[in-house]
Homo-oligomer: A and B are copies of this chain.
């Protein structure tokens, strides 16, 4: 009997099925330090216990995207080992801060399937939830992937298409228990701008740039226990290059966005996301943001809905005249961040 995991194929997903993912993981001070070594992360709330205590939390939470990657990584062996493409994200909500010492595990419910007309692949939608050791949900999001069929001749399943919100409503964002920005120290945070200082439509060039090395993206991706071989195996692609995990680019762009959004302390929701073009070691990544919306989500707590674009080219470029992403654009992410109102 074959002992290794061949991954699931399109035929193996049944709407309504709940998949419990393997390998619970305790995340602690070591993961935090590596996150801060791998990305130019400077948001004060996840950098300093003292700052977080002043904001009403029990200490510095681990970076929200560290939680996202840890949960995402668990799903890879069950969801995307035979995936051709990671197509999108929706309805992402960070429900509870995660602290050093918490143990995360994850489940995914299959909420949609649709075979492609070529009959060789299909699209699978899953709603993934990450839990801590107490069983409390810390993160939930929907993603959909294109997956190979084991056998093109398998009959097509009845298509099931989930209804997904265009974006997470501000009212549905979870504000961490106890969080407040009374007496918030803008000097220590690094910039004076409140949510109200940003105009809808405003665009920010985050100025800084980072060139990615193979060792960095592989260390990050392993830390999330993401096993997709295309990230690690230089013999996998004909051109000898290793495809960088899309989440690495998300974290890099989010960290670069500190310069101009230093007070956008918490990622609270993920509305949508596209990995517009593949990223490889040697690419020099820049980021720009656009303010899409603004809301009040608690006393003194504001939220900005932001488009975050990672690019290896000039800022503010997104799509060409044909509506397609510019070849230099790596990421187009639509998310909500919490900050002082």
Contact = CB atoms under 8 A, between A and B. Distances in A.
B204 A40 contact: no
Interface string A45-75: 0011111000000001000000000000000
A200 B28 CA distance: 39
Contacts of A261: 3
A161 interface: no
B210 A37 contact: no
Contact of A211 (B34, B38, B232): B232
Contacts of A198: 3
B209 A233 contact: yes
A277 to B, nearest CB: 18
B188 A211 contact: no
Nearest to A107: B187
Contact of A235 (B34, B191, B236, B284): B284
Given A188-B24, A213-B214, A33 B31 contact: yes
Interface residues of A, number: 77
A85 interface: no
Interface string A17-34: 000101111101111111
A22 B223 contact: no
A196 interface: no
Contacts of A188: 20, 22-24, 105
A36 interface: yes
Nearest to A189: B22
Contact of A209 (B26, B189, B204, B236): B236
Contacts of A242: 211
A75 B142 CA distance: 41
Contacts of A191: 3, 5, 22
A139 interface: no
Nearest to A28: B29
A197 to B, nearest CB: 7
A25 B40 contact: no
A44 B60 contact: no
Nearest to A263: B3
A271 interface: no
A223 B37 contact: yes
Interface string A184-207: 000111110100011000001111
The 6 closest A-B pairs by CB, nearest first: A30-B33, A22-B190, A215-B215, A24-B48, A211-B234, A3-B260
11 contacts: A3-B191, A3-B197, A22-B187, A23-B44, A29-B30, A33-B34, A48-B103, A49-B133, A77-B190, A208-B233, A209-B232
Interface of A: 1, 3-5, 20, 22-26, 28-34, 36-42, 44, 47-51, 60, 77, 100-101, 103, 105, 133, 187-191, 193, 197-198, 204-211, 213-216, 218-220, 222-223, 225, 227, 229, 232-236, 242, 259-262, 282, 284
